[in-house]
Amino acid sequence: MTMSKNSVIFSFIFLPFISSATTQLAPALYVFGDSLFDSGNNNFLPTVARANYLPYGANFVNRSTGRFTNGKTVADFIAEFLGLPYSPPFLSYKRDLLPLTGLNYASGSCGILPETGSPFGRCLNFEEQVGLFQDSVKSLQQRYFQILVDFSNYLSKSVFIVSIGSNDYINNYLETSLYDTSKRYTPQLFAQLLVYKLSQQLERLYNLGARKIVVFELGPIGCLPWITRNNKHTGQCVEDTNQIVSYFNNMLPAMLQNLTTSLKGSNFINGHGHGVGYDAIINPSKYGIADASNPCCTAFFNGTSGCIPYLRPCNNTNKHYFWDGYHPTEVVYSILASGCINNASFCTPYSLKDLVKV
């Protein structure tokens, strides 16, 4: 398999360590992305891409919130580390009552491109999410800040995290029955398009006041049950699919470095989730995982899609890598979050622990 040049694989047993801060390490956490980060925005949209029913949330105070997993996401673990409440879904708030500790704009099934995920119903693509943040900036300033420099300091010290692009492959490029994208673009050109469109919106976030922005690369999509159960392959993953996605991951670091260099006072951080995510599938016992192939919940279409409502999931959720046909379990998210928080070779050039001090 050809991985991102900067992918990180830890050669020791990875025990996630995430300590919750007793004081706030940042004034707010703003979250953007897809179903890996969605905390409930899709509950308010006309879409079939929802997770507001059990067994989703089975380990999240035993309730479903709209998170596409059994418990916490990477965004939730990062919020705990920062000493902040979980960033609530933006669509659950009235514009004049937005909280000061951050918001979540992520939307399941959506991506960087506006057409991605459209067959499933309404979702918030990345450009729309940034647009909603722009609306939030106006509301927050009017409600909380009379002095502009104070508001600028608040935004510059806040942490912004982005995980977007997976669906541009899952619900677009690889979905050849619904999209002709793979006929119009080679994998290299498609990745180039995505990275360019992503950079435009990241620069827009900067212009709105963001300075500390963590952007996660794409995970091992070729290892998802949705892929492995629908395609002939040898080994644990469909490596041809991982190869297609690798072009995006290989282009991401240079783009983020260019933004950091050209935009004064900015720190764009590359979150290397692919290497650890892949290693945990190939060498699961190293991470305390027993099953890195099968979904923990009983999922539609032979385990390749979302969880069937209200059916009891597996008993040992913390031993499974996959929750449904697309998404990891909380234990995998805790591994990824811990890596970014504590390790500067995972989140580069600063770990989150160091980024909050910059």
Query: Where do the structural domains in the chain lie, given as residue ranges?
Result: 29-355
For 258-268, write each residue's pLDDT tens digit: 999 999 999 99
Q: How confident is the model at residue 354 (pLDDT cuts 50, 70, 90)?
A: very high
Asked if residue 15 has pLDDT above 50, the reply is no
For the whole model, what pTM was predicted? 0.94
At 95, is the pLDDT very low, low, confident or very high (cuts 50, 70, 90)? confident
Q: Kindly report, residue by residue over 164-197, the tens digit of the pLDDT.
A: 999 999 999 999 999 999 999 999 999 999 999 9
pLDDT at 20 over 80: no
pLDDT of res. 12: 35
Give me the pLDDT at residue 21, please: 72
CA 59 – CA 35 distance, rounded (Å): 17
Report the alpha-carbon distance of residue 94 to residue 56 in Å, rounded.
Answer: 26
Decide if pLDDT at 125 tops 50: yes
The 10s digit of each residue's pLDDT in 142-171 is: 999 999 999 999 999 999 999 999 999 999
Residue 16 scores a pLDDT above 70: no
Mean pLDDT of 13-27: 72
Rounded CA separation 153/306 (Å)? 41
Residues 29-355: name the CATH superfamily. SGNH hydrolase (3.40.50.1110)
pLDDT class for 1, splitting at 50, 70, 90? very low
How many angstroms separate the CA atoms of 206 and 172, rounded? 28
Which sequence positions are flagged as catalytic? 35, 324, 327
User: Is the CB of residue 188 less than 8 Å from the CB of residue 243?
Assistant: no
- Counted residue by residue, the chain has a size of 358
* pLDDT recorded at residue 232: 85
Please give the Cα distance from 301 to 90 (Å, whole number): 31
Q: Quick count: other Cβ atoms within 10 Å of Cβ 316?
A: 10
**Residues 6 or more apart from 53 whose CB is under 8 A from it?**
64, 309, 310
pLDDT, mean over the chain: 94
In the predicted structure, residue 13 carries a pLDDT above the cut 90: no
Residue in 99, 95, 109 with CA at minimum distance from that of residue 41: 109
pLDDT in tens, 257-314: 999 999 999 999 999 999 999 999 999 999 999 999 999 999 999 999 999 999 999 9
Query: What is residue 197's predicted lDDT score, i.e. its pLDDT?
Result: 99
pLDDT of residue 22: 72
pLDDT of residue 10 exceeding 60, the answer is no
User: Is the pLDDT score of 14 beyond 90?
Assistant: no
Q: Calculate mean pLDDT across residues 215-227.
A: 98
